[in-house]
Structure 1
Amino acid sequence: MSERATPMSEQSGATGHAKVAGTVCLIQAAALMAVAATYAAELLGLAGLRADDPSVASMALVLTALFAVLVAVVGVHWWRGRRWVKTPTIVWNLLLLPASITLVQANGWLIGGPIALLAVIAILAAWGSPSVDVEDVTDRP
């Protein structure tokens, strides 16, 4: 097996950080799917919800569902012990930090606080996980 395809558990045994990061990513993916379901309910007029602008709601539904799937894929690959998921996890959660601040200002700590907390936990867990060891090919003749 190549270095890139070898799970973390077989390389270093350091699966604690990976499990935390993976769990946080899966929680975030589930939350995004719940938001996507809300957009779908607005579009369908379910539960008394009605979208003010169906084109905006439909685009928000597509983007939210897309990101939910992508974050879920990252979460699953954390649990499988892949190392490539470190960078997308850190980038995604760094982007969530300003979004969570905006949500705290607009909707209060009940909405923005958990998002910020999960983002910080995921960043720290990903940062603490092993990195991919890539051979330096610039020294070859």
Structure 2
Amino acid sequence: MKQLRSTPFHSKAFTLLEMMVVLLIIALILGTVAFMVQGIEGDAEHVTTGAKIKGLEVALTSYKISNLTYPTQEQGLDALVSRPTAEPKPKRWTQLAKPEGILDPWGHKLVYRNPGKHNAGGYDVLSLGADGLENTDDDIGNW
């Protein structure tokens, strides 16, 4: 008769403790990645806003070259989107921005001041940031 070999029992499966440790490591990695992506998204909104403001500065300069003056406070940035009806009415008007071009990434309309508070000899263009309130903590402007 054949003799049965006795071999020690070797488990080829993971223990519950090993599985919990692996799951904990995966959760920590995912949490770290989520935290890093959240920071990148916030930075992207600030960079996008800064680029929009720079683009509007170019559009405002073009407006001034064509009409010898910047839009008034009353006309605002809407003067770049549609022909102003308030005085001084521009003689040579062309659309220099699209309606979404005067909104920040948070959906708020960009603020235009003429004369500017920060740029007394010129104008201010600013985003009030994510909170939509004017303060210096998260506002982004051309100063």
> Scaled by the length of structure 1, what TM-score is found?
0.30
Q: Say which structure, 1 or 2, has more relative contact order (CA 8 Å, 6+ apart).
A: 1
> Scaled by the length of structure 2, what TM-score is found?
0.30
The higher radius of gyration belongs to 2
Greater per-residue strand proportion: 2
